[in-house]
Amino acid sequence: MGTTENVAPDRRTLTAHPVRTTKSTRHRRGFLAVLWANKKSRAGMLLLGLFVMTALIGPWIAPYSPYATNYAIMQTPTLHHWLGTTQNGQDVLSELIYGTRLSLEVTFVAGFGATAISIVMAFAAGYLGRWLDDILSFITNVFLVIPGLPLMVVLAAYSPVRGIIVIMAVLTVTGWAWGARVLRAQVLALRNRDYVIAARFAGEAPFRIMFREILPNMLSLVGANFLGASLAALLGAASLEFLGFGDPTALSWGSMLYWAQNSGALLQGQWAWIFAPGFCIALLGMSLILLNFGLDEISNPRLRGES
């Protein structure tokens, strides 16, 4: 339980403040450069860039329309259909390319939403108040204890509509607790630093202290959190859609897996139809994990020498 409290204090913050302006401009320029310099996070950036490109220019590079149903159904990979066709005679490769956009959207919207809630909860609990801290920490712990997937399923079931918005909302609501806990510990650690106390004595408003003084000094932790929440959202969305709680008509990797499973793709020997979306999910997830390695080394310079 005590592990989150022992988050190693960010060494950079000890020296950051007296020369804040120069430091932060240099820092902003250096952020991407540090990520790029690290071999693992460079691979992550390239991989993620590839997916973002595919999402943007998908309609131009897909060989067919993913909605066209005029091909022979349930084909295994052929020269014309590299990944085969579906039970309705759609081209699987085109579906995969078009589906990239929605899968990325769900991943990052839910990841962003969860991180935003985490930040608000962390500051409200860690900086603002004693009784508020008790209440918010209790709520956070409740969300940590209740098992994620069953909660997602029940929330999705009670929702009067099915669809991608519901999936994003459910993933956001179930995904913020861990981040809130980690960030709160960091806020608690930073709030008693000299520069924060000095800012308080100088009469700065609490909001300014929280968002201009403390937040910039925990950005890498927030970033790591965003990546973690996005990975959880990616896998959560895939599971929910696979189980049939998504919108089966929306084109995403998860709904492709749902249709593939429900038309018995594997039993028909159509391994490519199942393999491809799952592999894309795995690659996107891997790119997030690789990026996280780089962020870790930014926030914890001691790791840099080791690898």
Partner 1 sequence: MRYLTRRVAFLIGTLWVALTFNFLIPRMMPGSPAETMIANFHGKGQINPNALHAIQIMLGISTAPLWKQYLQYWGQVLQFKFGISYTYFPYTVTHMIAQALPYTLILVGACTVISFVLGTSLGIAAAWWRGGRFDATATTALNFSSAFPYFWFALFAAYWVSFRFHWLPLSGAFSSSISPMFNWTFVSSALRHAILPALTIVISSMGGWLLGMRNNMISTLREDYIVLAEAKGLRASWIAFRYAARNAILPNITGFAMALGFVVSGSLVMETVFAYPGIGYLLVNAVGNEDYPLMQGVFLIIVLAVVMANFVVDLLYVFIDPRVSNEGRV
CB of 188 to partner 1, least distance (A): 13
How far is Cα 211 from Cα 54, in angstroms, rounded to an integer? 35
Structure tokens given for 6: 């022992």
Q: Which is nearer to partner 1, 8 or 73 (CB)?
A: 8
Q: Which is nearer to partner 1, 5 or 205 (CB)?
A: 5
| Binding-residue pattern over the window 248 to 287 for partner 1, x denoting contact by CB under 8 A | ---------x---x----xx---x--xx--xx-xxxxxx-
CB of 293 to partner 1, least distance (A): 9
- Go through 111-143 and write b for each residue having 16 or more CB atoms within 10 A of its CB, e for each that does not: bbbbbbbbbebbbbbbbeeeeebeebbeebeeb
How far is Cα 73 from Cα 31, in angstroms, rounded to an integer? 49
The reply on whether position 157 binds partner 1 by CB under 8 A is yes
The reply on whether position 3 binds partner 1 by CB under 8 A is yes
| Separation in Å, CA 178 to CA 102, 153, 225, 226, 253 | 25, 19, 9, 11, 26
Binding piece for partner 1, criterion CB under 8 A, among 1-9, 93-101, 103-111, 120-128: 1-9
CB 184 within 8 A of CB 124: no
CB 230 within 8 A of CB 291: no
> Contacts with partner 1 in 96-155 (CB under 8 A)?
138, 141-142, 145-147, 149-150, 153-154
Q: Which is nearer to partner 1, 211 or 279 (CB)?
A: 279
CB 281 within 8 A of CB 47: no
Q: Which is nearer to partner 1, 61 or 154 (CB)?
A: 154
Q: Which is nearer to partner 1, 195 or 294 (CB)?
A: 294
- Crossing angle of helices 253-262 and 219-242, in 10° steps, is 20
Residues lying near partner 1 in the complex (CB under 8 A) are found at 1-3, 138, 141-142, 145-147, 149-150, 153-154, 156-158, 160, 231, 235, 238-239, 242-245, 257, 261, 266-267, 271, 274-275, 278-279, 281-286, 288-289
